[in-house]
Amino acid sequence: MQFLSVIVLPLLAFMVAVLFLGLSRKITARIQRRYGPPLYQPVIDVVKLFTQEENISHGPVFDLGVMLALGGSVAIVLFIPVGGMLGLSSSGDLLVVIYLMLLPPLGMALAAGASANPNASIGVSRKLILALAYEVPFLLAILAVMIYGKTTSLMEATQSQQSSVLAWGLFRLPLSALATFLILPAMIGMRPFDMVTAPQEIASGPLVEFGGKYLAIASLQSALHLYIVIALFVNLFLGGGANAGTFLAKVLVVFVAVLLINAVYPRFRMDQGLRFCWKWPGLLALVGLIIAMVSRG
């Protein structure tokens, strides 16, 4: 069973991720009073990107960096339980996930650095600063979950919430859940925190020199990342899911909520984003952590 889920989980994640891309374009279009592209438009895009030929090469580091990012994301997917499917998750996997989540940005940073474009290097520095901004509340919130559940296993943290709705992390640790929800756009890179890829400022930032199959891999990776972040949120605070169906339904709800925020806010400047992340989610997560520590003695 576990062997099978190692194959099924990444496939499922890819499918959901591509569906998310299509859905996000369709929903955004409807908010903007447009009809929008067909739901399978991302598939067409990715197919097209894979068949395009670049006329130049950016060197081996560029190729490796992109693969590292995608590989890192696939590795994280294996550790995230979807309903009953557990993948590789075992005790201590929450720590593994936290560390693995550093891999994709690192890979993108390597590739963007190798592309030698000033826009890309500014984008990478913004990405790192933004990571600094959201890592603090995120780690505090995860610490609260770990202390409250007395576990470092994502699987156990999820399963302990499945007894009833009130057992969800959202109701047990409301402040930590709120803090994590507030930084979700920053982790995904959606507005108001899309300054990393801001096309109007730095011409899509790290992706500026990406074309053809590199862009295809990069967009798949970013879609996977979107799925990972939301799935992690669902697992930590919304009780995961008894089966894959309920789990994916919850993921979809959170995704649409993030998308609506994306549609009605402009973009922060870098320093404002940093200040916001540390001020509100940071404070909430800290208080949440203290509450968790007090309630568990």
Closest CA to 274 of 161, 148, 137, 162: 137
Interaction of residue 32 with another protein, rule CB under 8 A: yes
Closest CB to another protein among 26 and 283?
A: 26
Please pick, from the candidates 27, 41, 67, 95, the single residue that binds another protein as defined by CB under 8 A. 41
In one letter, which amino acid is 269? R
> At CA 4, angle to CA 3 and CA 6, rounded to 5?
70
Q: How far is the CB of 47 from another protein (least distance, A)?
A: 4
**Other beta carbons less than 10 A from residue 169's beta carbon:** 27
Cβ count near 175 (within 10 Å): 20
Q: Smaller CB distance to another protein: residue 49 or 142?
A: 49
x/- mask, another protein, residues 200-219, rule CB under 8 A, reads xxxxx--xxxxxx--x----
Binding mask 180-199 for another protein (x = CB under 8 A): -----------xx-xx--xx
- Is 172 a residue that touches another protein (CB under 8 A)? no
Q: How far apart are the C-alpha atoms of 56 and 54, rounded to whole Å?
A: 5
- Confirm or reject binding of residue 288 to another protein (CB under 8 A): no
Among 2, 7, 11, 54, binds another protein (CB under 8 A): 54
Kindly tell me which residue out of 19, 97, 122, 229 binds another protein, with binding defined by CB under 8 A: 122
Distance CA 73, CA 75 (A): 5
Q: Which of 3, 266, 294, 297 binds another protein (CB under 8 A)?
A: 266
Q: CA-CA distance, 138 to 113, in Å (whole number)?
A: 27
Distance of CA 95 to CAs 83, 92, 172, 218, 240, Å? 20, 6, 21, 25, 18
Q: Omega before 192 cis (within 30°)? A: yes
Residues binding another protein (CB under 8 A)? 25, 28-29, 31-37, 41, 44-56, 118-119, 121-122, 191-192, 194-195, 198-204, 207-212, 215, 263-272
